[in-house]
Chain A
Amino acid sequence: DIQMTQSPSSLSASVGDRITITCRASQGISNYLAWYQQKPGKVPKLLIYAASTLQSGVPSRFSGSGSGTDFTLTISSLQPEDVATYSCQKYHSAPFTFGPGTKVDIK
């Protein structure tokens, strides 16, 4: 099975900072990658699919890029409401594995 890794596992940044989270697949998955946001105690929410397509209603400060094995999620200007764990998910072929998650908080 294809394994998914994320880095860093956690990060702390200031409001307004640009942050980038990396997701790596152990084999190529084209652009079959989604990103989810899970705020503390809440249900996961789809942010981005097809590696770079923003889900309707998601703020434009979120963006995704990548193809093949390496992907990034960028928040262009971190806001207090962005405190959450961000997880990638590959859906190239079953099982549609999630990455381990990256916890983001405010410095």
Chain B
Amino acid sequence: EVQLVQSGAEVKKPGESLKISCKGSGYRFTNYWIGWVRQMPGKGLEWMGIIYPADSDTRYSPSFQGQVTISVDKSISTAYLQWSSLKASDTAMYYCARGYAPFDPWGQGTLVIVSS
């Protein structure tokens, strides 16, 4: 069974750094892109970017370029989404998903709360 399992919920303060993860299993991890999607409270889905694990080729949405970093460690079939300095406006659910497009399946989501 193809599965993406994300790291647990995080509560951080503004200005702190954070790296969340997404581990793939049940398929050859390096053969499929992994994408990240943000969903702010009560809002719609926002495409953040994608990465190809085989060579780390990464594409970002202009809205998120420079705000986050997408990376991968193919040796452990894990993709990452990281922030160097969180803002309160980064509070959201973050999903990873398999595929260049469309996305299928999706991880269970990681809730990130940024509050002083």
Distance to closest chain A CB from B49 (angstroms): 8
Indicate which residue in A34, A36, A87, A95 contacts B61 across the interface (CB closer than 8 Å): A95
Given A46-B104, A89-B102, A91-B102, CB of A100 within 8 Å of CB of B44: yes
Could you give, for residues 43-58 of chain A, a 1 whenever the CB lies within 8 Å of some chain B CB and a 0 otherwise? Answer: 1111001000001000
CA distance A45 to B108 in the complex (A): 11
* Residues A87 and B44 in contact, CB atoms below 8 Å apart: yes
* Residues A98 and B101 in contact, CB atoms below 8 Å apart: no
Given A36-B45, A95-B47, A98-B44, CB of A43 within 8 Å of CB of B107: yes
Asked if A81 is at the interface of the complex by the 8 Å CB criterion, the answer is no
* Residues B106 and A95 in contact, CB atoms below 8 Å apart: no
* Residues B45 and A87 in contact, CB atoms below 8 Å apart: yes
Q: Which of B33-60 contact A (CB under 8 A)?
A: 35, 37, 44-47, 49-50, 59-60
Distance to closest chain B CB from A70 (angstroms): 19
The size of the chain B interface, using a CB distance under 8 A, is 25
Range class of the A interface residue count: 20 to 34
Contacts of A45 in B (CB 8 A): 104, 106
Closest residue of chain A to B44, judged by CB?
A101
CA distance A59 to B49 in the complex (A): 30
Contacts of A32 in B (CB 8 A): 101
Asked if A97 is at the interface of the complex by the 8 Å CB criterion, the answer is yes
Given A1-B62, A94-B59, A95-B62, CB of A44 within 8 Å of CB of B102: no
Apart from A95-B49, A98-B37, what 12 extra A-B contacts exist at CB < 8 Å? Answer: A36-B103, A43-B107, A44-B97, A44-B106, A46-B104, A85-B44, A91-B100, A94-B61, A96-B35, A96-B50, A98-B44, A99-B44
- Chain B interface residues (CB < 8 Å from chain A): 35, 37, 44-47, 49-50, 59-63, 95, 97, 100-109
- Chain A interface residues (CB < 8 Å from chain B): 1, 32, 34, 36, 38, 43-46, 49, 55, 85, 87, 89, 91, 94-101
